[in-house]
Amino acid sequence: MPLEALAPIDEAEADREFLYTLNFGPQHPATHTTLRLILTLDGETIVKAVPDIGYLHSGFEKLGEDLDYNQYVTVVDRMNYISPVANECAWHHTVEKLLGIEITPRCKYIRTILAELARISDHLLCVGAAALDLGGLTAFLYAFNEREKVYNIIESASGQRFHPSYTRVGGLMNDITDDFVTQVRNFAKSFAKAHSDVVRLLNKNKIFIDRTKGVGVLSKADAINTSCSGPVARASGVVRDLRKDEPYLAYPDLQGAFKVVCATGGDCLSRYLVRMDEMLESAKIIAAAVENIPAGPVNVSLDSKLVIPDKTATYRSIEGLIQHFELFMWNRRFETPVNEVYGAQETANGELGFYVVADGSGKPFRCRTRPPSFIHFGIFPQIMEGHQISDVPAVLGSLNIIAAELDR
Amino acid sequence: MSTTIEALTAALGAESLEISEFRDNRRVVVPAEKLHEALRILKNAVGFDFLCDVAGIDYLGYEGATDRYCVIYSLTNTTTGERLFVKSFANDPDPELPSACDLWAGANWMEREVYDMYGVNFTGHPDLRRILLPDEFTSFPLRKDYPLRGYGERHNFPTVTRAES
């Protein structure tokens, strides 16, 4: 019986025999929320990383088609729940662009302050959690101490700490108080000290630097090609910040108060450093804005027929009562143009945009979110290849993946 | 402003483009067969190097709409800051559009999400799978004829027993 020749052994294929598949998540301390990675390992080296997402998908965009322009703000809150006020500002920025409303100067300043507080709060969590995953608990505690102050400020403005739902079409839920101004002033003054505490703990920490420097490198060309924005793109050398490029809210007045922070390394350390310096710039913006809050109404005029009247107007005047009913009865609601618009703001994670299609009724026909976390997680397999398994928490922490925004 | 539009009209012909503006958004509707060429020109010749977003829309029942599915490529020029929204339509029974993955790597996940939610097939996409919903899911939930509460797909998911796992 003739012997049959065996098929020649493919060396690349033979090597793969030794590869080991590791399931990372969806429940894992370093993923912080629910995201899953399927890692193909050669020893401890990652050959291939395949993200599997959608564990937290809750159909936010479908829900948005059933809620009106004011109601959807409560859902938007829950996208990036680390900096909810920034999401609210971006959502109502888009709606106001659609409706053609120019909000009052006072509202612009308050929203600017809140958006910057949200940026600080988001960056603090990202930096603190990144340090925590790499074994530094103290920086995390310092960061959370400051975040608590931000929550106090947001509570004094809106009455809610975590999901304030503070913005409304054409203005805010209510005006701020003197207590809010005092708290913001104190925060802007004391923040530099807390910031330097974290800096002294981490910036020259050998363990932290060894584990972040040169890890997860994203080149400038790749950052643009893969649609990255925000600190992730700026750490790779992309000079792009919507606050400077397309100034909105009070940023046209505050251009002198801050700089765009960029780095060229593109690794985890650069992303950490960019976030740290951005917080100082945000504190400068807050310090400048809080001293210049203009007087005047916080909402646009009732005559625009688009803004919810305050309770006094509702109960004490016939115009206010009619306006309240006009906005809250399901068969009335907003009158919108039959058109569509894209509006975006620079939030802590990057460009948060909304594409709203209006059909003339009170509810959006379609409200697409451009989620920065989703786009940043898309680069993860690419920047992870060839690294060690212990680099996974470092890279995840530096990209600041918020699963609620990732999956919506 | 017009260099972008000029470059597009020169390459594709003015009759195939439909240009509109609203607030500060400029939108161009491009027929599906010319979409990829339009995106290629915009990226390579005009300098729209940043694909900001890929959004799907189902225009079923929308006032004045003639086509059903729409995919919007939001482009940004990172040098000048200019934005452009390129729209293209697809229809039942086989909604199909060319993929932009060969131009921008960032299109990969965003097109997968549009496929996941609307069932628009992107030809030439390297890895067109569901991304947010489970692979066993049978519908496309952001379509307008899909109810808010769903068809009960969740009750029909296959379950894995301890012995099989």
Distance from C-alpha of B122 to C-alpha of A84, rounded to nearest angstrom: 34
B89 and B46 Cβ atoms separated by less than 8 Å? no
Residue A361 has a pLDDT of 83
Question: Do residue B62 and residue A359 have CB atoms under 8 angstroms apart?
Answer: yes
Q: Report yes or no on B162 lying in a domain.
A: no
Residues sharing a CB contact under 8 Å with residue A148, sequence separation 6 or more, in sequence order: none
A392 and A93 Cβ atoms separated by less than 8 Å? no
Of A228, A245, A341, the CB nearest to B81: A245
Residue A92 has a pLDDT of 92
List residues of B whose CB lies inside 8 A of any A CB: 22-25, 49-53, 55-58, 62-64, 72, 74, 78, 81, 83, 85, 104-110, 113, 117, 130-134, 141-142, 146, 148
Range of the domain at B151: 2-156
Residue B1: pLDDT over 60 = no
Of A57, A224, A370, the CB nearest to B132: A57
A83: nearest Cα among A37, A45, A116: A116
Residue A184 has a pLDDT of 92
Count of structural domains, chain B: 1
Task: Encode A298-326: b = buried (16+ Cβ within 10 Å), e = exposed.
Answer: bbbebeeebbbbbeebbeeeeebeebbee
Q: Report chain A residues whose CB lies below 8 A from the CB of B56.
A: 368
The CATH number for B53's domain is: 3.30.460.80
* Positive or negative: CA dihedral A78, A79, A80, A84: negative
Distance from C-alpha of B12 to C-alpha of A33, rounded to nearest angstrom: 47
The 8 Å CB, 24+ separation contacts for A368-371 are A368/A61, A368/B53, A368/B55, A368/B56, A368/B57, A369/A60, A369/A61, A369/A79, A369/A405, A369/A408, A370/A344, A370/B52, A370/B53, A370/B55, A370/B74, A371/A79, A371/A405, A371/A406, A371/A408
What residue ranges of chain A have pLDDT lower than 70? Answer: 1-17
Residues sharing a CB contact under 8 Å with residue B2, sequence separation 6 or more, in sequence order: none
* Two tokens, residue A301: 């005029």
In angstroms, the separation between the Cα of residue A370 and the nearest Cα of chain B is 6
Q: What's the pLDDT tens digit per position in A330-381?
A: 777 777 888 889 999 999 988 999 999 998 888 899 999 999 989 998 888 8
DSSP H or E run through B57: strand B50-58
Q: Report chain B residues whose CB lies below 8 A from the CB of A360.
A: 63
Residue A17 has a pLDDT of 67
The CA-based angle A229-A231-A234, given to 5 degrees, is 75
Q: Report yes or no on B163 lying in a domain.
A: no
The ipTM value here is 0.89
Distance from C-alpha of A125 to C-alpha of A286, rounded to nearest angstrom: 19
| CB atoms inside a 10 Å sphere around CB B108 | 23
Instruction: Tell me which chain B residue has its CA closest to the CA of residue A408.
Output: B132
Residue A329 has a pLDDT of 81
DSSP H or E run through B26: strand B25-29
Residue B79 has a pLDDT of 86
Residue A10 has a pLDDT of 66
Number of H helices, E strands in chain A: 18, 8
What is the location of CATH 1.10.645.10 in chain A? 60-407
Distance from C-alpha of B77 to C-alpha of B84, rounded to nearest angstrom: 9
A229: nearest Cα among B4, B53, B73: B53
In angstroms, the separation between the Cα of residue A330 and the nearest Cα of chain B is 17
Task: Please indicate whether residue B162 or residue B125 has the higher confidence score (pLDDT).
Answer: B125
Residue B1 burial by CB count (10 A; 0-12/13-18/19+): exposed, middle or buried?
A: exposed
Residue B164: pLDDT over 80 = no
Distance from C-alpha of A175 to C-alpha of A114, rounded to nearest angstrom: 13
Distance from C-alpha of B99 to C-alpha of A106, rounded to nearest angstrom: 45
Residues sharing a CB contact under 8 Å with residue B155, sequence separation 6 or more, in sequence order: none
Start-to-end Cα distance in chain B: 59
B50 and B75 Cβ atoms separated by less than 8 Å? yes
Residue B71 has a pLDDT of 92
Cα dihedral B86→B92→B93→B94 (10° resolution):
0
Q: What's the pLDDT tens digit per position in B109-139?
A: 999 999 999 989 999 888 888 888 888 888 8
Find where tokens 């994203």 sit.
A218
A83 and A348 Cβ atoms separated by less than 8 Å? yes
Residue A122 has a pLDDT of 92
Question: Which CATH architecture fits A60-407?
Answer: Orthogonal Bundle (1.10)
Residue A356 has a pLDDT of 92
A104 and A298 Cβ atoms separated by less than 8 Å? yes
Alpha carbon B116 to its chain centroid, in Å, reads 11
User: Residue A64: how many CA atoms within 13 Å on its side-chain side?
Assistant: 27
Question: Do residue B23 and residue A341 have CB atoms under 8 angstroms apart?
Answer: yes
Q: What value does the mean pLDDT take over residues B140-156? A: 80
Q: Report chain A residues whose CB lies below 8 A from the CB of B131.
A: 53-54
Cα dihedral B10→B15→B17→B21 (10° resolution):
100
Provide the phi-psi class of B128: left if phi over 0, else alpha when psi is between -120 and 50, else beta.
beta
